[in-house]
Amino acid sequence: MLHECPKVRPIVTPDDIVRAGALLAATYEAERAVPGSPVTDELIQLNLAHTHRVQYTVQAIAEGEGLDSPILELAAVLHDVAKLDHRDSNSGGIDTWHHHYRGSALARKIVLAELGKSVAVADRVAAMIETHSDIPFIRRYWHSAYGASLPSPQTKEELALRDADMIDLLWVGGFAKIIRFRQIPGTAFYREDGGDIQKAIASALTSFYESSHVLRTPTARILAGPRISMVEAFCLELSGVGSLEEFSAAYLAFLNRLGISPD
Quick one: pLDDT at residue 261?
A: 79
Model pTM greater than 0.95? no
The answer to whether residues 130 and 182 belong to one domain is no
The answer to whether residues 157 and 186 belong to one domain is no
Whether 7 has a pLDDT exceeding 50, the answer reads no
The answer to whether residues 132 and 196 belong to one domain is no
Q: Which of 193, 229, 192 is nearest to 209 (CA)?
A: 229
Domain count of the fold of the chain: 2
The answer to whether residues 191 and 155 belong to one domain is no
Confidence of residue 89 (pLDDT cuts 50, 70, 90): low
The answer to whether residues 133 and 49 belong to one domain is yes
Quick one: pLDDT at residue 148?
A: 92
Confidence of residue 127 (pLDDT cuts 50, 70, 90): very high
Confidence of residue 9 (pLDDT cuts 50, 70, 90): low
* Domain end (from 136, 168, 200): 168
The string of pLDDT tens digits covering residues 178-226 is 898 899 888 878 988 999 999 999 999 988 888 889 999 999 999 999 9
Domain hosting residue 12, numbered range: 1-168
The answer to whether residues 109 and 216 belong to one domain is no
The answer to whether residues 131 and 24 belong to one domain is yes
Quick one: pLDDT at residue 6?
A: 47
* Domain end (from 168, 188, 218): 168
Q: What percent of the chain has pLDDT over 90?
A: 71
Confidence of residue 263 (pLDDT cuts 50, 70, 90): low
Whether 1 has a pLDDT exceeding 70, the answer reads no
